[in-house]
A and B are shown apart, each in its own frame.
Chain A
Amino acid sequence: MIEARQLSRSFRTFARRPGVLGAVRDLFRLGGEERLAVDGVDLHVAAGEVVGFIGPNGAGKSTTIKMMTGVLRPTGGSLRVNGLEPFRDRRRHVRNIGVVYGQRTQLWWDLAVVEAFDLLAAIFQVDRDTYRRRLERFDSVLGIRPLLHQPVRELSLGQRMRCDIAAALIHGPPLLFLDEPTIGLDVAVKRRIRDFIGLVNEEEGTTVLLTTHDLSDVEAACERVVLIDHGRVLFDGPTPALKDSLGGRRRMVVDLAREEDATPALVEGLPVVWEIDGARLTLRFRRDEVTAGTLIGVLTARAEVADLSVEEPDIEDVVARFYEDADARRLAAMEAR
């Protein structure tokens, strides 16, 4: 469905000089420097997949999506979506895709929701019966009926997002792009939208590509996740594997029977990060360096253990740590320049 090979996009950027004088000098400057926003992305998405697309701010997610939707022209590599080149075959290509931006609406500000829907149906040449059937379906899951006669500009963010999603699917596209669809939404609306994504995927076999900063979206809705930074794919695989690949640490909390046993000597020689608080010992370790069984064996031999629990790494923590590292790398790169 989506075939991207070494897909790249560069932008010419002009560093603005500060102050009025700087602005005047900028006026007469040509050139500028090329910055790669997307740097050789390889991505293959098969029909029927739900793929989460994550990465820190400025990683190149949106630029990649915009190339796939035909809004931006790639400057390198090849890209085929449903067998078409999105930018070149734009008008045919957009009939096969639905797009939702969380940050801005696709609907017309001044029109009532139903007018916007009718107009979109006309633009995409949807026949009457199909149109009605789809509206009924959208209403049953997204509850849009009471909103239909309100002007788009009067909708709340949650209402607008429900309408935007319905609008993106009015022509029944086999491929749906969602760019941060849950940004700024409350828990109830988020859940509704995730459910809807699952439903569309199951019932219609719609392929979904979702960018988000909310990893609970990814865990709830996506079986596959692609992590991108500096315009490159850093991870591409099943969602559960993401934690391991980013070096997520499991956590073991051990309550000792006697507080005086809680000394650094207890964990000597073990590949763990440790912390002692009274009689409680907290260990962090990597699955590939040491097993929980080994740790338990060593600890019980060295001291009397009263209670013990092991926690899997939290995807939020893992990715948060990754983003922080990415920020640090970016700062270092800027300083080096």
Chain B
Amino acid sequence: MRPSVRRPQQQAFSRVLPDIGDAPLGASYPGPPRSRLGALWRYGLMRAKVRLAYRGDFLLNAVGDFIVAGIGLVFLWAIFSHVPDIRGWSFHEVLFIWGMGEAAAGLFFVLFQGLWALNQQYVLRGELDRVLLRPLDAYVQIMLDHLNLEDLPVALLGLGMMAWAREGLPSFSLAQWLMLPVFLACGVLVLAGVLTAFSSLGFRILHRGTAVGLVYQASAFNRYPIDIFSRPIQRLLTWVVPFAFVAFFPATWYLGRTRWLGWAAVQPVVAVAVFGLARWLWGRGLRHYRSPGS
């Protein structure tokens, strides 16, 4: 009826979904997944497809986030072109810590951007209702709703920085290679845990999600060697909002420094504990959900 208006959107969708035309109803359904994990996988896949369908947004965001992350690298490089080291930390050492932090942050944004949407979209506007009516974990659904593949390049940039830093570092042992993905994954968990804990405040104190953004700003500290900060800030980053576990503590092991080895060793335990506690708090917060409107 209005083909000139309708067509662009339909084309965008047919790229995502093959047009089945007059095929029997339900022909596109591949049958039930074998497990709950399979259902979550399809959920995530569908969200990823939708994000990719908005190609303009996708590219702009991907390029934008990459540039923002790249500015950090330029900043680092600019500092070290004036000074040989910062409190005994060489360019390559800081680059490695920074890269690890960037990689963790990139992956964190791919998986956990839903934390930013939680208060405004789900709690205040009540979209949590829909989420709670599905037989899947509510938290996981929200994170999958906001699956954000655009930030994969940022994670890759972080890995690239780490690779570049290796030319000025001692070579890694096999154990170090094997632990690298574990530390990275646990770094993501620490970030996610801290921010999840703060986001669950939103169930009780209605607000637009600014707490998550503010606390995330503080996570920028995780990219610097911790001993360049004053004592109180070091304690804060270790005990209160443990961002030092995201990249710094594990990274020191790869730099051949032994002072923080104990902290590095417990990083996976801390990560699981922090994230577990945060999820528990989140679940408690859910009891206070008020569901707006009629």
Judge whether B133 and A94 touch: CB under 8 Å. yes
List B18-64 residues whose CB lies under 8 Å from chain A.
19-20, 24-26, 28-33, 38-39, 42-43, 46, 50, 53
* CB-based contact A132/B287 at 8 Å: no
Task: Name the residue in A58, A95, A121, A127 with the highest tally of chain B Cβ atoms < 10 Å from its Cβ.
Answer: A121
Q: Which residues of B contact A11 (CB under 8 A)?
A: 290
In the docked arrangement, what's the CA distance between A87 and B291, Å? 13
The smallest beta-carbon distance between A330 and chain B, in angstroms, is: 16
| Given contacts A106-B130, A111-B50, A121 and B29 within 8 Å (CB-CB) | yes
Which secondary structure characterizes the binding site on chain A? mixed
20 contacts between A and B (CB under 8 A): A11-B290, A70-B132, A71-B289, A71-B291, A73-B287, A91-B137, A92-B135, A95-B135, A99-B133, A110-B50, A112-B13, A115-B16, A122-B42, A122-B43, A123-B39, A125-B32, A131-B29, A149-B13, A151-B9, A151-B13
Closest CB of chain B to A211's CB: distance in Å? 9
**Considering only CB atoms, which chain B residue lies closest to A14 in the complex?**
B206
Task: Assess whether B228 is interfacial by the CB under 8 Å rule.
Answer: no
| The 9 nearest A-B residue pairs measured at CB | A132-B26, A135-B25, A125-B32, A62-B294, A110-B50, A91-B135, A128-B31, A118-B29, A135-B26
Residues of A within 8 A of B (CB): 11, 57-58, 61-62, 66, 69-73, 87, 90-92, 94-95, 97, 99, 101, 103-104, 106, 108, 110-112, 114-115, 117-119, 121-128, 131-132, 135-136, 139, 145, 148-151, 154, 179-180
A122 partner residues in chain B, CB cutoff 8 A:
29, 32-33, 38-39, 42-43
Instruction: Tell me the count of chain B residues lying within 8 A, CB to CB, of chain A.
Output: 39
B residues within 8 A CB of A57? 294
Residue pair B31, A111 in contact (C-beta under 8 Å): no
Residues of B within 8 A of A145 (CB): 25
CB-based contact B129/A66 at 8 Å: yes
Residues on B with C-beta less than 8 A from A115 are 16-17, 28, 46
> Which residues from 128 to 143 on chain B have a C-beta closer than 8 Å to any C-beta of chain A?
128-130, 132-137
